[in-house]
Structure 1
Amino acid sequence: MSKQDTVICLGREFNSEEERREYFRNELRAKLPELKKIEGFPIGDDEDIINLSDPPYYTACPNPWLNDFIGEWENEQSNINERQENFHVDEPYASDVSEGKNNPIYNAHSYHTKVPHPAIMRYILHYTQPGDTVFDGFSGTGMTGVAAQLCENPDPETKYVIEKEFRDSGLGSPVWGPRNAILGDLSPVASFISYNYNTSTDNYVFEDQARYLLNEIETECNWMYETKHTNGSKGIIDYTLWSDVFTCPDCNGEIIFWDAAIDKEIGEVRDEFHCPHCNSLHSKRTLEKTWVTLYDDSLTETIRQTKTVPVLINYRVGNKRFEKKPDSDDLLLIQKIDALKVPYNIKANELPIGYNTEQPKRSNGITHVHHFFTKRNLWCVLSYINKNKNVRNLFLVTAITSDVSKMARLKVGYYFKGGGGPFIPGLAGTLYIPSLSVEKRALFALENRLKTISSSLPKLKGHRGITLTGSVSDMKTLNSSSIDYIFTDPPFGANIMYSELNYISEGWLRVKTNNRSEAIENKSQGKSLLDYQSIMTKCFEEYYRVLKPGKWMTVEFSNTSAAVWNGIQTAIQKAGFVIANVAGLDKKQGSFKAVTTPTAVKQDLVISCYKPSESFEQKFTTTQSSIAVWDFVSEHLSHLPVYLKNENSSTAIIERAPKALFDRLITFYLMRGLSVPIDAKDYQEGLKQRYVERDGMYFTSEQAAIYDDKKARSPKFVQLSLIVTSESDAIEWLKDRLRKQGQKYQDIMPEFRKATQSLRKGDTLPELQDILNENFIQDADGKWRTPNPNEAKDRETLRTKILLKEFGTYIAAINQPKAKKLKEVRVEALRAGFKISWEQKDFNTIVKLGDMIPQNILLEDEQLLMYYDIAKDRV
């Protein structure tokens, strides 16, 4: 064998890829006992885990070779001309990005959530240079790895668009070149998909092997999908529509949903419909499904399931498509197939107890994975799996699971009126079985998916992505300070139950998710929102550990809950990161846009945060004075966007507002167990003395010059829009109003009442008069104005005294015998009291009171949650 035909992997030489694979599989087998001690090790037999793996590039368990690859990559850096010796990124990537999803790579394999890889490319290009290592521990299908690959060889259109965006944003030209990616996920099927996207393959070999398998399956299974055409010739079924059957409560007759409930003239589902036997009027909501008893030869027992019947067949003869109502021959064929035993081993995977898994059990009697498929579709899929000799070809099966299951559904409007494909996969984020289920011929689905994958794989070289299966909360196989950049799209609260939704596909792979460390809120797993936050904190602490000092992490957030949003922020900051910017992501359009409030959760968000440098951290362990405060502010200002533009207007940067800067300072100190050596008023004065104020925001003198120059070109300014949801918001609203000019109470009140209509439940807002007395100054003419520095200190003292008195009443109330939870509280009083308790190291009071206030108040207020979360660790 010639030298050029040999395979070099981690310094070893092999005669073939198969030899390399076999060597490292044996190595992996020997390492499994130690790897099993790592959190998140999947559920499966050792040999199934090893057979699914392609080590060292991909392991269906924690990957013990990560540091070896990083060592190789760092040795290669000296040969990359594009690298800079002192590469450093100060500002976050805060420019607007627009990127659609209609991309052959993106569409090659579906998954519950995805960020389009061209959008991720902008971040990688901004935060890294060629040769750097990117990490995503919640990688899903591996789009972060795809983005890293394509930074070396982008398609011309993407390259042009990104370069133009960088120039327009004043970022200069992006430096194209190879980036390396480490990709992990708790789910074996997710990491398997990621591996296929991010490991090099011979596309022709893949396609040839797949087509050979499909031809074998066609010979074996096509008879199951034959139907008789009108002229007696044979057609091949592509789709069969199955309908639920309901029982009429008046006559006990059967009501076929398709026949009774679909108005075929106007192409809509009727709200009410008649029983065909007694003509009584019903709605779907008031009817009971018809249940039947069946024998399950896989379980060797009888089962109860809902009755469904075939009502429509979509087939083709040659290249022409036709439709028909199933005739007697079609019904006899289905009966014949159902009476046969599938000649392949069906592993009876019972659905676990869960949130999503309970729905098909209750509604349809579906208790095991094989129940999600008709007998003939199950036969075809198992035939493919059993005949397959190359594990990579299972990529095709995992890609069509939803398509060929009973979860596939009919879009009634599209079917009758057009406007889109009428036969679509299951309802996203669920295991829902529709009343009109579409049985897509499995071989038809496999052929179509093969075309899609074959058109996308050649665009990927996939030689720089290393994949693992495991929990990011325990990355023992990855050295500290070894990663240059993190992009991650983690789970969010109870949004998506990944381990439940992946259970079917993981059944094909014979390796399943170990959900003990799954970061979700799930009653079936006994995980509350606080448990979710605790797991996410562990994950971010590992991210913090493996990221190099001074480097960046980008977190994509997708949830509409303010409590989950605050939980994520707390977890990020508790791990040690400092948040520098929050931007919005409209996934429908795939675009990133600036947002004007840190608690805006009506859209997807992108959080940019950084790990402080080692020298910067050391200052705070050695300097316990207000000097360090201004070191932090200067350092933090250097990491914030200097200028943002929305269309043709200059836009406010919320992180540069005084309140936001002070909040970040408090968080930085508290998360490190330090007392804050400055109060709010002295802090405000210090800002004014040391930094330059522009449009309510603070800059260093150098940044102010840049801001002035750029704003001069777009002088129209968009101010921060403030939605009043709390007392602190109300105070800021009044400050903004009274800063411009003094006003009398009667002039303020009407607008104040309108502004304060969105308060949180359980949060007591004082009367306007009390807020004015505690925070502002009334002149002799009766007008209220903002206080000067000396007056502000007096007002702060007065207000703190009032708040702590209120806090004292809460302490007294919860210490009463048989004390009940407090239904309403003044959040500002809790903040003041928690601050004093923290300074006095009275952590018990913080935790005890935190447990007795309304949960939404605790979870939706960033400061309260921060104090509570840290105090809980110290009790």
Structure 2
Amino acid sequence: MSKKTYNSGEPSLGLELEEETATEQKGPVTVLGLTFSNDDERREYFRAELRRKLPELRNIEGFPIGEDDDIIALSDPPYYTACPNPWLNDFIAEWEAEKKDLEAKGLRKTDFEVTEPYSADVSEGKNNPVYTAHTYHTKVPHPAIMRYILHYTQPGDIIFDGFCGTGMTGVAAQACAKSNNEWHSKIESEFVNSVGHKPKWGKRHAICGDLSPYASMISNNYNSPTDISLLKSETQRIMNELKDECGWMYTTLHDNKPIGCINYMVWSDVAICQNCGKEFIYWDSAMSKEKEGLLDNFECPYCKCSHTKATAKRSFQTVYDDVIDDVVNVIKHVPVVMVYTVKGKHIEREPLAYDIDLLKKIDQHPIDTKYIPIQLLPEGYNTEQPKKTQGYFYVHQFYTRRNLIALSILFKKIYESKYPSKLMFLFTAMIGRSTKMQRVHINNYFHGGGGWNAGNLKGTLYIPPFPVETSVLEQIGDKLRLLLKAEPYLPHSFDNVIQVASALKQNMYTNSVDYIFTDPPFGANINYSELNSLPEAWLRVTTNNETEVIENSAQGKSPAFYHNEMQKCFSEYYRILKPGRWMTVEFSNTKASVWNFIQSAITSVGFIIANVASLDKKQGSYKSVTTTTAVKQDLIISCFKPSEKLLAHFENMRQSDDNQNIFVSTQSFIEELLTRLPVIIVNEKKTTAVVERSPKILYDRLIAFFVQNGRQIPMDASEFQRFLRDTFVERDGMFFTAEQAIKYDDLRRQIPEMVSLALFVGSEADGVQWLKRELVDKPQTYQDLQPKWMQDLVAPKKGDAIPELMQILEENFLKNEDSQWYIPDAENEADLEKVRTRRLLREFKTYVEAAEKPKGRIKEARLEALRTGFKNCYQEKDFATIVRVGDRIPQSLLTEDDVLLQYYDIATNRI
């Protein structure tokens, strides 16, 4: 292979940066009423207290898996505990006392109230210094969260996030203190344009918890001050020592001299030809210079037999693993390309004999097993892939021998350093990029630019056929520079509290927090505990995933489990949130069933949903960028806990069934709901109708609230609509209080162009009509349609199963070459209808088979399939099947659908 050269400067640790911002306090520090000479003394005292409390804390649901010493070493109490934090209520009491001082200074109001949700759509990219300082599976950019905090809270308020991930809610809370940066200017401008005034700047406090010790460790580092001077000196010292001890492993020959520093090495699977049985290197056979990419079909170099990636069987080898002192059978990899640096230039070439001999020497080099993670992969969905395809059952097998040795030495030095917390932040930012999961960026390999390392495939433990081994030595400086760039935007004092805890149970008093922002797991999107098993093995404290709120068949966690656990989480949120205060739920999932689960869980515990808006994080995940079924926009649910006044009304109603009392409670509920809905939504100089003000949604909210409070529904839908018209003011199909109606009329005159009320999707037929309306002006992609679809989706009739959006699109619409869906012309529509009818009849056949069983019950069915099946049976005079199926489906579905009931009544009279 010919050499390629790239101009590049020598790697630098970035230690030339002179700005020294806030550091840990060197003088006296006071926390929770206790004064210490410095933070080291504070830390020592509270670690001793935490150790004393650990036996009791271990009984709390979600307590992590780990030894006491490791939990204590990872913690920085009382601000951060790698277990449930026993000082939460003490902090809350202290912060509540601080509020009185802020009120005395005129920095906050005693009668502060938020009557409308933040309804504007938010667009905020991920490419900011804070976001990129440390990777994680999911993360909401903190400037996006700032908008919600500034709207729903005032300085001194207490914010909670029970699924905090990397702690961006905490970062956002402290970033609300006034400072001069581009985010503040942008947010101020948005607020002035949307609500007519500037936000109330000032620091808020946050309590951030997560089930994952890895996530909470990152969160702690994002939310605690950094001693830059100490960080730089310790990083420089460790870097120098690491080069002295490990530099020999990353050298190569240049001009026949052992010089240079290896940046990364590409390895390749070894394949076995199923025709001749010989081994060949997958890279050499499948990678084409002429085609500038990977070939779909390639030949065995020995017998010329044609292969694809699927037919070329991977070669395994049996080797002795001295880490576990056992023989293992693992995938066979060989080095094929390496890149190293000499005098500021990156040079690419094939490995030489010197490089191969060096790898053999490294294989024989001893390793200190005390400082590497000797841990089996947990049972799970994601962990099965490396077990089956690679023979990897242990965490350490995800690293090359070279990187494993270097990481073990680096880990030991960090563990024994003067600043282990921040250095561990750098270390965990490196270990993912040091695994064999890193992929070759094929396009950049052939065309240059942007680097070869495409990173790992997000949301998986996938090891590609061409793993990229990235030098541990090269990464340290990069990670330090990223943290130094983020540091000016991060908290410069300990003002937030971080813990490892389950969202199902919080050690906090009832009605103790002012606002909740939360980004919970959504169904089976991401198996956090499985993916975190690699970094947590290094931390020596791992997730207790027994109550992890996800769908995971390998863990026996069904959709019903997910729904029930989310309901428990929101019930706990409801308990700790003060009456009349708000919760914001960030949602990212393409499944309508999960969307319904979330909304159902929120309303069933007592929250009232006021608005659904979108959050565009711009740069999507790998899946959202490369697939047509993933979406780039998340949804934001705004809901509130009823006020004390409304809850008192219901308490009075429990004492009496008087009709007048019930009417007053109904009126009080609707009035409070209307006052908390946006009067109007303006996007791109257009007035958008507020769907939550429609009679259907208002009635749904009323039903949910009455049922949650253990009361019978006060009136049916028609009575409720009469009640609305008699009590409130109607405008454009929406209802307002008298005061809101005046405001609405004024705003409508200013912005006359009106986007009409949405057509709600409560059935498959509604969905087809909704899509026709959306596509009538122009074709749209699934990614364009899905966020809007979710916002207009409402609960279907009991027993009706609405198909997913993609299925309805495929059965009723056509797609162009740009993956945009459009309405078919009459001829194509007829053909589509024939195909769709056949599919529906196949589905109806499964209902017939279920109904023929002696005790067969059909708990849920697709309404359109039933209609099509009944129609077909009617035409064929098969009345018995109509009756048999009709008797086995949910009776509410049969009796509430005019079409089904008509066929059923006719069939009953004919047999």
TM-score, scaled to structure 2: 0.80
SS at match of 1:486: strand
SS at match of 1:326: coil
- 8 Å Cα contact 2:167-2:223 kept in structure 1: yes
Alignment map for 1:193-272 (pairs within 5 Å): 193-272=218-297
CA distance in 2, matches of 1:85, 1:588: 38
Offset at 1:524?
Answer: 1.6
Aligned with 1:463 (options 484, 488, 494): 494
Alignment map for 1:325-724 (pairs within 5 Å): 325-345=350-370, 346-388=372-414, 389=417, 390-392=419-421, 393-418=423-448, 420-460=450-490, 461-475=492-506, 477-588=507-618, 603-623=633-653, 624=657, 625-722=662-759
Aligned with 1:24 (options 23, 37, 46): 46
Aligned with 2:170 (options 116, 138, 145): 145
CA distance in 1, matches of 2:649, 2:406: 65
Aligned with 1:49 (options 49, 71, 86): 71
Partner of 1:782: none
Offset at 1:347?
Answer: 3.7
Offset at 1:666?
Answer: 0.8
Q: Which runs of 4+ in 1 moved over 4 A?
A: 600-603, 730-734, 759-765, 813-817, 825-830
Offset at 1:78?
Answer: 2.6
SS at match of 2:521: coil
- 8 Å Cα contact 1:248-1:287 kept in structure 2: yes
Offset at 1:463?
Answer: 2.2
Number of residue equivalences: 757
- 8 Å Cα contact 1:764-1:827 kept in structure 2: no
CA distance in 1, matches of 2:152, 2:644: 19
Aligned with 1:309 (options 314, 324, 334): 334
CA deviation string 1:216-272 (max 9, x = no partner) = 111110100100013535111010001111101111122212111112234211111
Would the alpha carbon gap of residues 724 and 515 (structure 1) be closer, same or farther in structure 2, given more than 3 Å must change? closer
Which runs of no fewer than 5 residues in structure 2 stay unpaired?
1-24, 622-629, 774-792, 803-846, 868-884, 895-911
CA distance in 1, matches of 2:670, 2:801: 33
What amino acid does structure 2 have at the position aligned with 1:191? S
What amino acid does structure 2 have at the position aligned with 1:505? P
Identity of matched residues, %: 51
Aligned with 1:288 (options 296, 313, 334): 313
CA distance in 1, matches of 2:530, 2:511: 34
Partner of 2:154: 129
SS at match of 2:497: strand
CA deviation string 1:412-458 (max 9, x = no partner) = 01221245332122110000001111000012112211111122123
What amino acid does structure 2 have at the position aligned with 1:339? Q
The answer to whether 1:7 aligns with 2:29 is yes
Which runs of no fewer than 5 residues in structure 1 stay unpaired?
592-599, 737-755, 766-809, 831-848, 859-875
What amino acid does structure 2 have at the position aligned with 1:467? I
CA deviation string 1:807-840 (max 9, x = no partner) = xxx9xx989943243674659999xxxxxxxxxx
Would the alpha carbon gap of residues 763 and 676 (structure 1) be closer, same or farther in structure 2, given more than 3 Å must change? closer
What amino acid does structure 2 have at the position aligned with 1:162? I
Offset at 1:321?
Answer: 1.2
Offset at 1:51?
Answer: 1.1
Would the alpha carbon gap of residues 550 and 356 (structure 1) be closer, same or farther in structure 2, given more than 3 Å must change? same
CA distance in 2, matches of 1:32, 1:546: 24
Offset at 1:203?
Answer: 1.7
Aligned with 1:116 (options 130, 138, 141): 141
CA distance in 2, matches of 1:20, 1:764: 58
Would the alpha carbon gap of residues 31 and 43 (structure 1) be closer, same or farther in structure 2, given more than 3 Å must change? same
Partner of 1:839: none
Would the alpha carbon gap of residues 290 and 155 (structure 1) be closer, same or farther in structure 2, given more than 3 Å must change? farther
CA distance in 2, matches of 1:402, 1:318: 28
Offset at 1:318?
Answer: 2.3
Q: Which moved more, 1:688-697 or 1:268-277?
A: 688-697
CA deviation string 1:661-719 (max 9, x = no partner) = 11111111112221101010011111112212111111111111111111212111112
What amino acid does structure 1 have at the position aligned with 2:52? A
User: Cα RMSD over matched residues?
Assistant: 2.8
Would the alpha carbon gap of residues 822 and 130 (structure 1) be closer, same or farther in structure 2, given more than 3 Å must change? closer
CA deviation string 1:84-141 (max 9, x = no partner) = 1211101000112221111011100000000000000000000000011111010000
SS at match of 1:457: helix
Partner of 1:752: none
- 8 Å Cα contact 2:801-2:860 kept in structure 1: no
Q: Which moved more, 1:154-163 or 1:697-706?
A: 154-163
CA distance in 1, matches of 2:767, 2:244: 73
CA distance in 2, matches of 1:448, 1:360: 29
What amino acid does structure 1 have at the position aligned with 2:701? R
- 8 Å Cα contact 2:617-2:632 kept in structure 1: no
Alignment map for 1:63-212 (pairs within 5 Å): 63-80=85-102, 81=105, 82-212=107-237
- 8 Å Cα contact 2:213-2:543 kept in structure 1: yes
- 8 Å Cα contact 1:558-1:604 kept in structure 2: yes
- 8 Å Cα contact 2:211-2:500 kept in structure 1: yes
Would the alpha carbon gap of residues 85 and 240 (structure 1) be closer, same or farther in structure 2, given more than 3 Å must change? same
Offset at 1:57?
Answer: 0.6
CA deviation string 1:747-769 (max 9, x = no partner) = xxxxxxxxx9xx9999499xxxx
CA distance in 2, matches of 1:364, 1:186: 29
- 8 Å Cα contact 1:403-1:424 kept in structure 2: no
Partner of 1:277: 302
CA deviation string 1:760-779 (max 9, x = no partner) = 999499xxxxxxxxxxxxxx
- 8 Å Cα contact 1:99-1:590 kept in structure 2: no
TM-score, scaled to structure 1: 0.83
Offset at 1:12?
Answer: 1.0
CA distance in 1, matches of 2:311, 2:327: 28
What amino acid does structure 2 have at the position aligned with 1:706? K
SS at match of 1:370: helix
SS at match of 2:177: coil
- 8 Å Cα contact 1:92-1:641 kept in structure 2: yes
Offset at 1:170?
Answer: 2.1
CA deviation string 1:487-534 (max 9, x = no partner) = 000001100000000001001110000001100001121110110111
Partner of 1:833: none
Would the alpha carbon gap of residues 155 and 415 (structure 1) be closer, same or farther in structure 2, given more than 3 Å must change? farther
Q: Which moved more, 1:38-47 or 1:341-350?
A: 341-350
What amino acid does structure 1 have at the position aligned with 2:455? P
What amino acid does structure 1 have at the position aligned with 2:78? P
